[in-house]
Amino acid sequence: MRLVVFFDLPVVTKPARRRYAQFRRFLLNDGYDMIQFSVYARICNGQDAVNRHTFLLAANVPELGSVRYMQVTEKQFANIQVLAGKKNKKEDSRFASQLSFF
């Protein structure tokens, strides 16, 4: 199962850029990988892990901006079609089983 986070945060002022950087750093430290700018995803082993990470996500969301998440199965995630560019190694579902054992 994957948890996908989409966000659009203001970066006009220095404090807003700092909040953006803190949120992005939280995502990376919590095991999310960048899919594209402002789209991050992480593998979760079951619904309990999804619940734990959505709780952590809600606790770290900046006050301003827009942050959304979506829970998808590995099969749904594997069906993502790339129209421009290419999938990176972390997006490839063949490596998901290796990552889920950590």
The mean pLDDT value for 33-50 works out to 95
Per DSSP bridges, beta strands 39-43 and 2-8 are antiparallel
CATH number at residue 88: 3.30.70.240
**Residue 88: per-residue pLDDT:** 75
d(CA 39, CA 4): 7
Please give the mean pLDDT across all residues of the chain: 89
Give the chain's domain count: 1
Helices marked H in the chain: 14-29, 47-59, 74-78, 96-99
pLDDT at 47 over 60: yes
Between 89 and 66, where is the model more confident?
Answer: 66
Domain of 48 in residue numbering reads as: 2-99
pTM, rounded to two decimals: 0.83
The pLDDT value given to residue 102: 46
